[in-house]
Amino acid sequence: MAADLISAELRRTSLYETHRAAGARLGPFAGWEMPVQYAGVIEEHLAVRARAGIFDVSHMGEIHIDGPDALTAVQRLITNDAARLSVGRGLYTPMCTPAGGILDDVIVFRTAERGYLFVVNAGTRERDLTWIRAQAGAAAVRDASDETALLAVQGPSARAVLEAATGVNLAPLLPFHLRGGVAIAGVDTTLMRTGYTGEDGFEIACPWAAAPRVWAAVVAAGGPLGLMPAGLGARDTLRLEAGLMLYGNDITEETTPLEAPLGWTVKFDKGEFIGREALITQRTDGPRRRLVGFEVADRAIPRQHCGIHVDDRRVGEVTSGTFAPFLRRPIGMGYVPTDYSTAGTELNIEVRERMAPARVTRLPFYRRPRG
pLDDT digits (tens, 9 = 90+) for 18-59: 999 999 999 999 999 999 999 999 999 999 999 999 999 999
Residue positions counted in the chain:
371
Task: Say if residue 5's pLDDT is above 50.
Answer: no
Q: What pLDDT does residue 371 have?
A: 64
Q: What pLDDT does residue 8 have?
A: 58
> Model's pTM, two decimal places?
0.96
Spatial strand order in the sheet of 90-96: 90-96, 102-112, 115-120, 61-66, 140-143
Query: Amino acid letter at 65?
Result: I
Q: What pLDDT does residue 168 have?
A: 98
The full DSSP string for 152-184 is EEESTTHHHHHHHHH----TTS-TTBEEEEEEE
In the three-class reduction of DSSP (H, G, I as helix; E, B as strand; rest coil), residue 52 is classed as strand
> 2-56+148-241 maps to which CATH number?
3.30.1360.120
Q: How many whole angstroms separate alpha carbon 77 and alpha carbon 93?
A: 10
Measured distance between the N- and C-terminal CA atoms of the chain, rounded to whole angstroms? 53
Query: Amino acid letter at 327?
Result: L
In the three-class reduction of DSSP (H, G, I as helix; E, B as strand; rest coil), residue 320 is classed as strand
Mean pLDDT for all residues in the chain: 96
Looking only at the bridges linking them, the beta strands covering 201-207 and 102-112 are unpaired
Q: What is the pLDDT of residues 139-187, one digit of tens each?
A: 999 999 999 999 999 999 999 999 999 999 999 999 999 999 999 999 9
Closest CA to 342 of 308, 301, 285, 293: 293
Position 4 confidence tier, pLDDT thresholds 50, 70, 90: very low
- Selected residue with higher pLDDT from 358 and 7: 358
Task: Say if residue 7's pLDDT is above 90.
Answer: no
Instruction: Read off the DSSP letter of residue 241.
Output: H
Looking only at the bridges linking them, the beta strands covering 52-56 and 227-229 are parallel
Q: Where are the domains of the chain?
A: 2-56+148-241, 288-361
Position 3 confidence tier, pLDDT thresholds 50, 70, 90: very low
Listed range (2-11, 80-89, 205-214) with the worst mean pLDDT: 2-11
Position 2 confidence tier, pLDDT thresholds 50, 70, 90: very low
Q: What is the pLDDT of residues 181-225, one digit of tens each?
A: 999 999 999 999 999 999 999 999 999 999 999 999 999 999 999
Task: Say if residue 283's pLDDT is above 90.
Answer: yes
Asked if 73 and 134 touch (Cβ cutoff 8 Å), the reply is no
Mean pLDDT of 304-320: 97
Task: Say if residue 6's pLDDT is above 50.
Answer: no
Mean pLDDT of 252-281: 98
CA-to-CA dists, residue 6 to 10, 11, 36, 126, 321, angstroms: 7, 10, 16, 21, 27
E strands, the chain, in order:
25-29, 32-37, 52-56, 61-66, 90-96, 102-112, 115-120, 140-143, 148-154, 178-184, 187-192, 201-207, 227-229, 289-296, 307-310, 313-324, 329-337, 346-351, 354-361
Structural class in CATH, domain 288-361: mainly beta
